[in-house]
Chains A and B, each alone.
Chain A
Amino acid sequence: MNHSPPAISLRWIPVWRRNFLVWRKLFGPSMLGNFIEPLLYLLALGFGLGVFVGEMQGMPYSVFLASGLVCASAMNTATFEGLYSAYTRMAHQQTWGGMLATPLLVDDIVLGEMLWAATKSLISVAPILAVAAALGLVHDMNALWVLPLVLLTGASFAALALCITAFARSYDFFLYYFTLVITPMFLLSGTFFPLDAMPQAVQWGAQILPLTHAVELVRPLMTGAPLTHSLLHLAVLIAYGAAGLYLACLLLRRRLMA
């Protein structure tokens, strides 16, 4: 097995661009969904459920929820892209096979797919941020720092998803990952409620989840609360992304270059 580190070059751009051009063809309906869905969540949960919840960590529930939605959406979008869409391109359409007959290498494809999935996260989160701002749920312009954070979060989750895709023999395989990894993370990273009331073990366990660290960065930026341990949170997200990228390159080299 080839253990060399990922060959990083600008060759990822045509891979990213190919996915972008396909996405652009379906731009209308997908963008509509990107606006409608967060609007429904913020209105129904934020204001509907918020009436009963009242304040959470000293802020209205809808404000608390908006930053959680941003992070969960970044994770879900990148994960879907790195699993289902990437698998379609790898196995069903043989898009990667076509690329590998050109000067592109497996590492270029992995990097291009990872950065494309991160871009998709950004595309899905930007409308949430806009809707939240329009509803008065965002504190100030510092919230714009959320956008680069979403790119980083998306890239990390995409890299992890590509590692799973490297083992997949069918779409059904991805249900394990969703059930065992993504759904628990979705619920236990402080996205929809603070973890203070959970058993101590769960609180500690949550500290190893990348989504927890994304929430710890995004929530203060959107709500105006003080930002603490920001370098640590960034380092965890970067570590997940870097390790995921390296592993995805190893695993996909092994699968595609048999």
Chain B
Amino acid sequence: MTQNAAPAVIARGLRKLYGAEAAVDGIALDIPSGQCFGLLGPNGAGKTTTLRMLLGASPPSGGTLEVLGHPIPQEAREMRARVGVVPQQDNLDPDFTVIENLRVYASYFGLSGPALPRRIEEVLHFAALEGKAQAGIHTLSGGMKRRLTLARALIAGPELLILDEPTTGLDPQARQMLWQRLRTLTAQGKTLILTTHYMEEAERLCSRVAVMDHGRILAEDSPARLIERHIEPQVVEVYGPDVEAWFNSRARTRVERAEHIGETVFCYARDVRALLDDLAARPSLRYLHRPANLEDVFLKLTGRDLRD
């Protein structure tokens, strides 16, 4: 599938103030069409506020914003006719069955008539919910509800999908199933914008990610290039009794960089052989040697403090 030339989202100096506090503090975004774009960041980083502004659900305090060529919030209605949304909080209609949920949601887009049943069948099939058309919402598992929410977002054939933490709270099987659906949608040429806490999710799905914190974008690139640019290639995670003493006496000089987070010391280096030799002689310490990943980038950029 060829990519559209025009970006899906263009933001310049985008700001959102709540009182004196800046939830989003002057960000620039160029989100290309036909790709999956990830917005990463700890709680309170400004991800959801950014998505709300993209949808025209929250007027920006400053800057300019264009989504699918529509100035936002001025043309929010026209833009939303071309966008599907999977919200963080489940808002399926509990009084309706699966198929009624889709039918009623379609009516919000002004969709009705002879083409609609066919469209509903398609999205039910895509979400693997064909057998559940007449089921009540309360009988669905968490994974099924999420897939129905995705099917609902697809009902009007959107060009752009916005997903706010789409797999939070799902079990591993349900998550895998949803990932596979999202990859299919990207392969079909749709633009996806998602927020997530799961770095593995971002690394697997997104061709481009932006790391946000305190309302600003700290870095933006492909996951591979972010890792290459910010992190030493080898990581050794060490934990166990007296890990701090061990680190101060034996390891500090053998690594390029280290982070102490909770009870684990993360050691980053180009060459970790000396470190591993030392650890091999200390059975009380447990360790994991692995290549650097997006989570390391995330922790480096956003710091180690706990966010609630």
Residues in chain A within 8 A of chain B (CB atoms): 2, 11, 14, 17-18, 21-22, 25, 93-95, 97-105, 256-258
Contacts and interface: CB of A to CB of B under 8 A. Distances in A.
Contacts of B276: none
24 contacts: A14-B107, A21-B96, A21-B100, A22-B93, A22-B95, A22-B96, A93-B91, A94-B87, A94-B90, A97-B87, A98-B108, A100-B57, A101-B55, A101-B83, A101-B85, A102-B81, A103-B78, A103-B81, A103-B110, A104-B108, A105-B76, A105-B77, A257-B58, A258-B58
Interface in B94-134: 94-96, 100, 104-105, 107-110
Nearest to A101: B85
Interface SS majority for chain B:
loop
Nearest to B18: A258
B59 interface: yes
Given A21-B104, A103-B109, A105-B76, 11 more contacts: A14-B110, A17-B107, A21-B100, A97-B89, A98-B93, A102-B105, A102-B156, A104-B108, A257-B57, A257-B59, A258-B58
Contacts of A98: 87, 91-93, 105, 108
| Interface-central residue, A101, A105, A256, by most chain B CB under 10 Å | A101
B87 A101 contact: yes
A187 B94 CA distance: 37
A18 B107 contact: yes
A103 B91 contact: no
B159 to A, nearest CB: 14
B80 to A, nearest CB: 5
Interface string B55-68: 10111000000000
A18 B91 contact: no
Contacts of B55: 100-101
Given A18-B107, A22-B96, A258-B58, A102 B80 contact: yes
**Considering residues A94, A102, A103, which has the most beta carbons from chain B within 10 angstroms of its beta carbon?**
A102
Contacts of A93: 91, 93-94
A103 B96 contact: no
B111 to A, nearest CB: 10
A18 B58 contact: no
Nearest to A11: B110
Nearest to B78: A103
Contacts of A102: 80-81, 105, 108-109, 156
B93 A18 contact: yes
A94 B58 contact: no
B168 to A, nearest CB: 16
Nearest to B97: A25
Nearest to A17: B107
Contact of A14 (B76, B90, B108): B108
Contacts of B156: 102
Interface in B277-303: none
A256 B57 CA distance: 8
Contacts of A105: 76-77
Contacts of A21: 96, 100, 104
Contacts of B108: 14, 98-99, 102-104
Nearest to B95: A22
Contacts of B90: 94
A94 B82 CA distance: 21
A94 B91 contact: yes
Contacts of A2: 59
Contacts of A18: 93, 104, 107
Given A103-B77, A257-B58, A258-B58, A25 B95 contact: yes
A93 B89 CA distance: 10
A53 to B, nearest CB: 44
A257 B61 CA distance: 12
B187 to A, nearest CB: 24
B251 to A, nearest CB: 48
Contacts of A99: 108
